[in-house]
A and B are shown apart, each in its own frame.
Chain A
Amino acid sequence: MRDIAIVSFVQSDCVRDAGAQNEVELIMPVLRKALDAAGIQSAQDVDFTCSGSCDYLQGAAFAFVSGVDPLGAVPPIKESHVEMDAAWALYEAVLKITMGQAESALVYGFGKSSPGELPIVLSQQLDPYYMAPLWLDSISTAALQARTMLDNGDITEKDMAEVVARSRKNAKSNPHAQLKGDVSVDELLAEPTYLSPLRKHDCCPVSDGACAMVVATVEKAKEWGKPYAVLKGIDHRIESHNFGARDLTQSPSTQAAAKSAGVANGPVEVAEIYAPFSHQEIILKRALGLGDDTVVNPSGGVLAGNLMMASGLSRIGEVAMRIIRGDIKRGIAHATSGHALQQNLVAVLEEA
């Protein structure tokens, strides 16, 4: 694919309840900062805009249309929306740029999950005949996945706790994180189970917030005169909606997307992985073929704060900003959608 420049990225704090702020009020600050960092005024200054959100989260029909209000869409702009994480909005923007229909794009994601009962809302992502009527929630499906791995001997509860302890520790340096601090594996293992085998800390928290990113062709980024990271590859794959037909202990969709995106074409210094449950980070690390020399989730990942519909784009933005700041030369990012890692996106980023 054609190289694409990630010019700016901004994420809001992850908060359990954004209170009075509506979607417009959540989006506007991050949008403003992302545009400022790219040195442009408004959505009028890019060729394409795409957002990711889900109206079911807050129960407000057409919240995604209100999400257009902060753009300044007069005169009319070229705009699109995915009812998915904004990582897939970025994918659409990448396609537009790759096809030559745009030289620059604004991508943003937002989610206000606090007004609803998120795991129950997400039960409606499932097969509407066989599973959704049972109100099979998103924590329960992850717990079934974790149990399979534990019973198989693929992981131990200690492995899961280690993921959580590292997330909390890494999140200490992330100003946007919701859950952070020093906690030992032993302390975590002493906690009672929540939805056995999962403990509460094995599950990502519910968070409200938003994030935004400006991308462009490399030529356009140079014209703007801003530092940028290069998106070298991006792909996404999906697995069956029938859990029984999947091997839940593996993530073949991640593996296929990683291969196609070119993860193995160079060293991976940092990987930001969208693992809403601790055991899933282990599945994904294996599927992505990462060794011990890769720093996984230096931001703390989504166990430290999970913006539904924005966390995937945030993973990509986290890696991009580390490259732009000069901390690393090459990293990868992963986004997931659906229950028990059903759909997965992988992006490879390098320095300019």
Chain B
Amino acid sequence: MSDQNTEALEPITGIEVPVYLDYNFTAGRATARFLTGVKNGKLLGQRCPSCRNVYIPPRGCCAACGVATEEEVELSNKATVESFTIVHIPIPGNPIKPPYVIANLVPDGANISFLHVLSECKNEDVRIGMRVEALWKDASEWDYAMENIQYFRPIDEPDMEVEEIGRLKDA
């Protein structure tokens, strides 16, 4: 850079100081068990010994009661839409083309929802209480990731009453 150019420059008022930190993240015992289940094509929740709620993905603890969760519960591939949103903006790094539906899904046998993509339906037809099922990728592609489920799609079952979503009948 020549001195002439330097003199022509504006005074510094801001700087770019990106910070990149490298980690080797560990999933946690409960999450590791959950992801190992997913690798084998199963959704595994954990039941609270105190309030009997079933959590997915489990974090090793019932956040309501503050007690450790141990009992593993295999959940159904069927789920109910608890809430949803239609995404119109492209998210950097996300290969799915907008507009698409992201839904809070409560799998049968669990009390709480997780997020996944809903497809094979018109975005306008998605509604709370709608019954859906997981479409798993081919088993040869399974890894320790929720992407093993390609997406959820509607099934021909009557909608669930809003009050019933996340309520366990045998809890």
Contacts and interface: CB of A to CB of B under 8 A. Distances in A.
B21 A129 contact: no
B9 interface: no
B68 A128 contact: no
Contacts of B29: 20-22, 25
Contact of A74 (B15, B19, B22, B64): B64
B30 interface: yes
Given A70-B66, A71-B66, A28 B61 contact: yes
Given A24-B60, A59-B23, A115-B23, A72 B28 contact: no
Contacts of A121: 21
A120 B22 CA distance: 10
Nearest to A22: B28
Contacts of A120: 21
A80 interface: no
Contacts of A154: none
Contacts of A186: none
Contacts of B25: 58-60, 115
Contacts of A42: 65-66
A19 B29 CA distance: 9
A128 to B, nearest CB: 6
Interface string A266-290: 0000000000000000000000000
Interface string A222-254: 000000000000000000000000000000000
Given A72-B64, A72-B66, A72-B67, A66 B26 contact: no
Contact of B15 (A19, A115, A129): A129
Contact of A58 (B17, B23, B66): B23
B47 interface: no
Contacts of B66: 31, 42-43, 69-73
Interface in B54-68: 59-68
B52 to A, nearest CB: 14
Interface of B: 15, 17, 19, 21-32, 59-68
Given A25-B29, A115-B24, 13 more contacts: A20-B29, A20-B32, A22-B26, A22-B31, A24-B28, A24-B60, A28-B61, A31-B66, A42-B66, A69-B63, A115-B23, A124-B21, A129-B17
